[in-house]
Structure 1
Amino acid sequence: MTLPEAVTAVFLGLLEGATEFIPVSSTGHLLLAGHFLGFESSGKTFEVVIQLGAVLAIVIAYFAKLVWVFGSAPRDPAARRFIGAVLLAFLPAAVLGAALHDVIKTVLFETPRLIAIMLILGGIVLLLVDRLPLRPRYDEADRLPFGTALGIGLCQCLALVPGVSRSGSTIVGALLLGVSKRAAAEFSFFLSLPTMGGAVAFDLYKNRDVLSFDDVGLIAIGFAAAFLSGLLVVRGLLGFVSRRGYGVFGWWRIVVGTVALILLSLRF
């Protein structure tokens, strides 16, 4: 591992944590940044595994809530219902992601132009949904009906295409299903735990034969950077979207996608 590689790993880790929980597609940002920086990891494992840093940020930020949920589940129906809703929302992407893993990693992850287009299209959708006169019916992330949770989970399947955004697809789906802006973001946080944890575990298993010691060092650096930036974003995001909504992220996506398309057209 060289110093430039380590610096790149820090940058990509910070980028991952900063974009994982906002609806702009952390994977899309990582893949585009890696493409323009000339950074490649075995089987794209670095880009997937450093997401665990962001997962740890959620665990730390919501540690008390998680302890309460799992600690009270044996005696509290509401806690069991919340766990069931998150697992139900996780199921569709888990099944489809496992079935399409090879296509996603070998085709979609290697198509930066597609990623840029998805960023732009997703930004337009986010702007339109943010301006709809939606009337929320559900204000608490831990009290969503199973049908609503499943609908959010089906929307999450769209994020198997890099550039769509896992948080973006789940938040937009939740908003359209009557969830408030704050609760939509919070449910997306909790849904990220089984989704990202499962994706990392499956990816490590699939790429177990191509990992090297150098990969482990870079992943550790990226993991730490993703944790730090992810923790900052998680602690500030709910208040921000409650006041400002999601429009700014739609413009962010459009700008990044457009710049990426321009650079790609110049054969950067």
Structure 2
Amino acid sequence: MLEILKAIILGIIQGITEWLPVSSTGHMILVDQFLHLAGNKKFVDTFLVVIQFGSILAVILLYFDKLNPFSSSKNAKAKKATWDLWIKVLIAVIPSGVIGVLFEKKIDAVFFKPTVVAAALIIYGIIMIWIESRHKRPVITKFSNLSYKTALLIGVFQILALVPGTSRSGSTIIGALLLGTSRFIAAEFSFFLAIPTMLGASLLKLLKAGFAFSGFEWFIMFVGSLTAFVVSVVVIKFFMGYIKKHDFKAFGVYRIILGIIVFAFFLFS
């Protein structure tokens, strides 16, 4: 029963932090100090990646019509626009996909340290505040205005998320804003990029682990994924409503505070 409760708590954290530009890794590092999920390292590492699948399903559910090129409610022009959006998404995931596959272990070995996570939280929090303080009128307010080149450049920014503490959504949103998109387009595009990125990461982790888990371990992963799905639906709706009236400065401030807490915790513990 205790492990189920832990899985629910971790699913809640995943569902919240995956979509907000605040770094799920920073939160997981802190939580892991107090909440140790039972099982060997292979299972725990796989669990933390696989529960992202629940978050992905939330995006697919909420944006199913927008992302479905076969929808009967769309005319030929709308279907073509949907295919075009998918091309831009796939172009954007190439940079981080290639770098991630080639250097994942090296990056984790070098950068997966509390001090690096804390520094990334603080640095990108400052960058986020700085960008918002000088944010000009966006030139890209529709996906039809988003060029393939701009999509690729946003994908290059997603490479930054390979450094723990940066935040996948945070890096893509920062990149998109710098390249002239509206906050709405920046947020939605970061959601869409998560689908192939996180699906690929989850599948790769399962393949590496060999699917060799007990029935109870599979159940724990299901509970965590289901929780992440439900929480993600709520958080995505909240986030998109929030940025219609607000900017990202509050998230920048939050990142700085969290970074200081992470750094202080490991400095004095």
Structure-2-length-normalised TM-score: 0.90
Picking from 100, 105, 110, the partner of 1:102 is 105
Q: Which residue of 2 aligns with 1:225?
A: 227
Distance 1:112-1:218 versus aligned 2 partners, 3 A rule: farther
Q: Which 5+ residue runs of structure 1 have no aligned equivalent?
A: none
Listed as ranges, the matches of 1:38-187 within 5 Å are: 38-39=36-37, 42-43=41-42, 44-67=45-68, 69-71=69-71, 76-105=79-108, 108-109=111-112, 111-141=113-143, 143-187=145-189
Q: Which residue of 1 aligns with 2:251?
A: 249
> Aligned partners of 1:142, 1:33: CA distance in 2, in Å?
41
Q: Which residue of 2 aligns with 1:207?
A: 209
Q: Which 5+ residue runs of structure 2 have no aligned equivalent?
A: none
> Aligned partners of 1:214, 1:142: CA distance in 2, in Å?
46
**CA RMSD, aligned part only?**
2.1
> Aligned partners of 1:234, 1:152: CA distance in 2, in Å?
20
Contact 1:119 1:163 in 2 (8 A): yes
Partner AA of 1:229 in structure 2: V
Partner AA of 2:14 in structure 1: E
Number of equivalenced pairs: 263
> Aligned partners of 1:155, 1:247: CA distance in 2, in Å?
19
Contact 1:48 1:199 in 2 (8 A): yes
> Aligned partners of 2:66, 2:19: CA distance in 1, in Å?
18
Distance 1:211-1:98 versus aligned 2 partners, 3 A rule: farther
> Aligned partners of 2:119, 2:138: CA distance in 1, in Å?
30
Distance 1:205-1:128 versus aligned 2 partners, 3 A rule: same
Q: Which residue of 2 aligns with 1:19?
A: 17
CA apart distance, 1:227 = 0.7
CA apart distance, 1:210 = 6.2
Query: Which deviations, in whole Å up to 9, do the C-alpha atoms of 1:175-212 show, x marking residues without a partner?
Result: 00010011110111111111111111111112227644
Say which SS state the counterpart of residue 175 (structure 1) adopts.
helix
Distance 1:45-1:252 versus aligned 2 partners, 3 A rule: same
> Aligned partners of 2:90, 2:138: CA distance in 1, in Å?
23
> Aligned partners of 2:163, 2:33: CA distance in 1, in Å?
17
Q: Which residue of 2 aligns with 1:193?
A: 195
Percent identity, aligned pairs only, is 39
Partner AA of 1:87 in structure 2: L
CA apart distance, 1:108 = 3.8
Contact 2:20 2:170 in 1 (8 A): yes
Query: Which deviations, in whole Å up to 9, do the C-alpha atoms of 1:2-23 show, x marking residues without a partner?
Result: x222211111100110111111
Q: Which moved more, 1:94-103 or 1:74-83?
A: 74-83
Say which SS state the counterpart of residue 243 (structure 1) adopts.
coil
